[in-house]
Structure 1
Amino acid sequence: MKVILLNSIKKLGLAGDEVVVRSGYARNFLIPQSKAILSTKENIECFKKKKLMFENQFLKKKLEAESCAEMISKLGSITITAKSSIQGKLFGSIGPKDIAKVISELVGVKIYKSQIRLPDRNPLKFIGNYNINIHIYNKISVTLEVKIINLPLCKKDNNEYDDKK
């Protein structure tokens, strides 16, 4: 079944594209959620008028994404402190949500956890340096180095250690 996409859909196409999908996917998901319309002669004619608007929106988002990518690449690397054992294993893990929060605070642009691509798709569980990929928008991505270091401990009496506050 041919449909015209009203929104960009990951792994399917951009807004304005005419794509062929399975009829059940179109009838039960895309059309009821207003993500696509049937590809008929009337809809194609109507959509040609709207296509310029979609192209302008796409260009605007692309420019915003490129500026965001430039700001992130200027960071070069970020450092995250976390508690860990003597062997370097973290107490807990550093996931996409944690990394997105740090980047958003440093850059001032909202980065979502779904945009962060971790190596092996698993949370980071050891101290070290990791290269992560940040997918910003439609084929615009940036590689960033994440350094995870041990949280320093304060020495108390009797050689006991306590978390630094």
Structure 2
Amino acid sequence: MKVILKETIDSLGIIGSEVTVADGYARNYLLPQSKALKATPANRKILEQEKFKIELQIAKEKGLAEEMAKRLEGVTCKIVAKVSQEDRLYGSVSLRDILDTLETQDIKIEKQMVLLTEPIKTIGTFKIPIRIYKDVETEITVEIVPE
């Protein structure tokens, strides 16, 4: 089913774009949550009339994302963990640990933004990419130190 997005959804596209999604996804999630409209000629006409508003909203979202990227640049997240004699962690440092530590520094980001491919299992310093918006990415430093 073709739908027109009413808000930016990371996995689909930006606000105002016309995308094709599974019928069930559109019927059960996007349309009831008012995140999209069916791509009909009438809705396309409405979209053309609101195109200026949509472009302003995209610029605003991107501006906020760039501002947040500047704030996150150079942020160091220090996590204390229990280690064995061989300097290996008991367990691992996961996405949740990173988000909790950032929250103590008054930095609130969503878990989808953190591009951690696998949990960290050794001590050391790691660069973790953060995707704030479609084309806006930055890195934070995660430092794992022994307890």
Pick the TM interval, shorter chain: 0.7 to 0.9
Deviation at 1:141, TM superposition (A): 1.2
Task: Normalising by structure 1, report the TM-score.
Answer: 0.77
Matched residue type, 1:90: L
Aligned to 1:80: 79
Aligned length: 147
Q: Secondary structure at the match of 1:55?
A: helix
Question: Looking at both structures, which has the greater relative contact order when contacts are Cα pairs under 8 Å and sequence separation is at least 6?
Answer: 2
| Partner Cα separation in structure 2 for residue 66 and residue 125 of structure 1 | 31
Aligned to 1:47: 47
Residue 17, structure 1, aligned to residue 13, structure 2:
no
Residue 132, structure 1, aligned to residue 128, structure 2:
yes
Unaligned runs of 5+ in 2: none
Matched residue type, 1:125: K
The answer (yes or no) to whether the contact 1:133–1:142 under 8 Å persists in 2 is yes
Aligned to 1:64: 64
Task: Normalising by structure 2, report the TM-score.
Answer: 0.85
**Structure 1 pair 135–82 and aligned structure 2 pair: CA distance change class (3 A):** same
Runs of 4+ in 1 over 6 A off after TM superposition: none
The answer (yes or no) to whether the contact 1:7–1:14 under 8 Å persists in 2 is yes
The answer (yes or no) to whether the contact 1:97–1:112 under 8 Å persists in 2 is no
| Partner Cα separation in structure 2 for residue 114 and residue 46 of structure 1 | 31
| Partner Cα separation in structure 2 for residue 21 and residue 64 of structure 1 | 28
Unaligned runs of 5+ in 1: 152-165
The answer (yes or no) to whether the contact 2:6–2:36 under 8 Å persists in 1 is yes
**Structure 1 pair 25–114 and aligned structure 2 pair: CA distance change class (3 A):** closer
| Partner Cα separation in structure 2 for residue 6 and residue 100 of structure 1 | 29
Residue 100, structure 1, aligned to residue 99, structure 2:
yes
Aligned to 1:109: 107
RMSD: 2.0
Aligned to 1:141: 137
